[in-house]
Structure 1
Amino acid sequence: MNEEQSGSDDQPVVVDQTDKRSVVPFVAAVVIAIVVLIGIVAGGLLSPAEKNVTEADRLAAAVTNYIDARSRSDLRPPPGVACPGFSEETSGLGEQLGGPNSTVTIDGKGFENATVNVDRAKIDAALVVNGNPVPSSWKLTRVDSAWLVCSF
């Protein structure tokens, strides 16, 4: 099984190190990366995401903010999401939301029928109150470019 190999181990291995390497592919990759980054920045400046948001999206966000703040606060209404002087009870919203200690979430059906009239708006929301689906109608007012839950 041990056979003697003659000649092949005695020959020196010649390594050719004369090939020249180029930095051209690396420079090209850097240039392409810079062009892509410039394109991304220019796209963000020319078409910011805020401009793609509709009024219906802003109304839905205001209602979502109210419901989220309501779940984290014992105050009715929660601070910063409703007009000054707003009351859940006198607006009828307290009854729709199942009282002050209810659990309220937004149903997967979301929002529909958004109507805007200058600085006043209405939107219908599909809610889940204490595990039961409840349709509700929300009235909002624009205050300092932000939509707040109000009764009018």
Structure 2
Amino acid sequence: MKIAIGADHAGVRLKEDIKQQVIALGHEVEDLGCHCSDSVDYPDYALKVCDQVVSGQADRGILICGTGIGMSIAANKVPGIRCALVSDLFSAKATREHNDTNVLALGERVVGPGVALEIVKVWLETEFSQGSRHEGRVSKLKSIEEKYSIHP
């Protein structure tokens, strides 16, 4: 899989650890920044990652900021993105199995690097539960998105 990854200044250190983890798991990484500790705006990096995912240039995306909250809010504004903010292993697995998430958000100031790397591993290795009751629920999410999306 190709994974697009992005972070703001508060997530840049964890992004570097996660990049190495994703590569070690046999995936390709597209690092979309940021690459410094200078203050930057998280929506800019969320949009870069989400654009890659919805265009098909990346299979999934990972976003990191201080809490993960801002990144997850920004990501979920993009039609076609289902982003989950995760801080535990159970949720990492459930959000893939039940919600077919295509973007993962993490908070560097909330989750330590050890747990974050395990979350990423579980999230990348878990498949969506095709043909289950969850498929209908994800379809309903898509319908809500279509209803409220602005179409030119």
The verdict on a shared fold, with TM-score over 0.5 as the criterion, is: no
Q: Which has the higher strand share?
A: 1
TM-score w.r.t. the length of structure 2 is: 0.21
Q: Which structure carries more relative contact order (alpha carbon 8 Å, separation 6+)? A: 2
Q: Which has the higher helix share?
A: 2
